[in-house]
Structure 1
Amino acid sequence: MDQASAGLQAVATAVEEMNATVGEIALNSERVHATTTQAATQVNQFSEIMKGLGQSAQEIGKVTETITSISSQTNLLALNATIEAARRSGRQRLCCGSQ
């Protein structure tokens, strides 16, 4: 009878330890789930940030293109003004007898 009682006690102890282990596993699973959910949220936020940066980069590219176009037009206008000034200077020399 003592052996049976000792055997039952050993089984009861093993069941308690198993319950404690299962409880720890459940707690760890909840922590993993919470961490995974938080990581997924952060990945989504990062994705939105990257999307916004991509859009900003495109807008900056458009502004850069506009500035380049304006710069080219300004250079062309300056060249035309230089040519016209040279023509006027040449005409004045011819017209007025300047040397």
Structure 2
Amino acid sequence: MTSPRPGTKAHALRLADAETSLMTRHRELAHITAALIDKEAEVEAQALRIQSLEAELAEARQALGRAQGIVDYNLAELQSIRSSTSWRLMAPVRKLGQLLGR
């Protein structure tokens, strides 16, 4: 297909169509660019949120470790008490107290 000769009505119409198409593509590109900028901002916000949650998780893990240490210590203390001679000797007194409704 040959191009219309410059200066003809067909040439002017073809140029107008090309210009309209170019403007449409330019608007589409502007919309896509704006959407991309919005998505990049969302990704950045999500990355910051992830960092914040990771910091919270690290703090929670530290708190859990401290709590587990306390539990372990208390269980060891309880085991120590229950295995002591005085605890075993006082077992009948505790049982009698339970039977009497104390």
- TM-score of Structure 1 vs Structure 2, range by shorter chain: 0.7 to 0.9
Give the whole-Å Cα distance in 2 for the aligned partners of 1:84 and 1:32. 74
Aligned residue pairs, count: 86
After TM superposition, the structure 1 stretch with the greater mean CA deviation from structure 2, 17-26 or 44-53, is 44-53
The change in CA–CA distance for 1:83 and 1:49 in structure 2 (over 3 A counts) is: closer
Rg comparison, structure with higher value: 1
* Aligned counterpart for 1:4 among listed residues 4, 8, 25: 8
**Aligned-residue RMSD, C-alpha:** 2.5
State the percentage of identical aligned residues. Answer: 10
Any idea what the Cα deviations from partners look like across 1:12-56, whole Å, max 9, x if unmatched?
A: 210111111111111111011101211220221122112202211
1:57 and 2:61 aligned: yes
Matched, 1:79 2:83: yes
Q: Who is 2:25 aligned against?
A: 21
Consecutive unaligned residues of structure 1, counting only runs of 5 or more, are 87-99
Runs of 4 or more, structure 1, over 2 Å off, are: 81-86
Q: Under a length normalisation based on structure 1, what TM-score does the superposition of the two structures give?
A: 0.72
Larger proportion of helix = 1
